A = this chain, B = another copy of it.
Amino acid sequence: MDQKNFMDEFMKAANQDLTPKQAKILQAAVEIFAEKGYAATSTSEIAKRAGVAEGTIFRHYKTKKDLLISIVSPIIIEFAVPLFAERFINEVFQDQRLDDFEDLLRKIIRNRYQFVKNNVPLLKIFFQEMAFHAEIQEKFSAVFTEKVLPQFIKVVNHFKQNGQIGDFPTETVIRLTINAIVGFFITRFLVMPDYPWDDEKEMEYTIQFIRNGLKGI
């Protein structure tokens, strides 16, 4: 995916030029997809909950799958990109206050925590349907390898050089870090959303776990 397509997606996501009925359709689809899964959801049920005729769905979305893609695409970009925009990463190398791995971890986790908390159903749909739809996999893969990975590598190598991260391969550091962070969110919001979490504490423990786990001996 090239830059232009990418920005198109982003603009499409940011734009609010949806008709009221179209917005209702998206809202209903997200709710039901998250509840029962894409394949188990019928377009008639979406139309019913959206308070819309079934034909209206197909006026805006060529197929049911098109509706799914329209829902999932923005969330891929919004979840992965913002914290890894070039502007932000450059700060890491220039701003004294960011030259600490633990502080960076804290900043990333706290920022993404708010985003995840505000988008649980959308993210549930993403994780579920990624397993079965090549379009979603490809879109995610493109965003990850083009936008996230290069910046992540820069940062890890930076902290490896100044000794805050130990002698692991860079890809392994990235795997372990993303897994610890995303794993926390999945446990917190999808696996055990009703557990009496103390989010502040758990985030801090997770930060310590990652920092110590990656520290050289």
Contacts and interface: CB of A to CB of B under 8 A. Distances in A.
Interface of A: 36-37, 39-40, 124, 128, 131-132, 168-169, 172, 175-176, 179-180, 182-184, 187, 190, 202, 205-206, 208-210, 212-215, 217
A131 B205 contact: no
18 contacts: A36-B132, A37-B37, A37-B132, A128-B128, A128-B131, A168-B209, A169-B205, A175-B184, A175-B202, A176-B205, A176-B206, A176-B209, A180-B180, A182-B183, A209-B213, A212-B213, A212-B215, A213-B213
A202 B172 contact: yes
Contacts of A169: 205
Nearest to A34: B131
A106 to B, nearest CB: 16
Interface residues of chain A: helix, strand, loop or mixed (majority) = helix
Closest 3 CB pairs of A and B: A213-B213, A39-B39, A179-B183
A113 to B, nearest CB: 16
A209 B215 CA distance: 9
Most chain B Cβ neighbours within 10 Å, of A37, A214, A217: A37
Contacts of A179: 179-180, 183-184, 187
Most chain B Cβ neighbours within 10 Å, of A128, A179, A183: A179
A81 B100 CA distance: 41
A183 B187 CA distance: 11
A179 B124 CA distance: 18
Given A176-B206, A209-B213, 11 more contacts: A36-B132, A168-B205, A169-B205, A175-B202, A176-B209, A179-B180, A180-B180, A183-B183, A210-B213, A212-B212, A212-B217
A178 B192 CA distance: 14
Most chain B Cβ neighbours within 10 Å, of A36, A209, A213: A209
A172 B205 contact: yes
Contact of A131 (B132, B184, B190, B202): B190
Contacts of A187: 175, 179
A36 B215 CA distance: 41
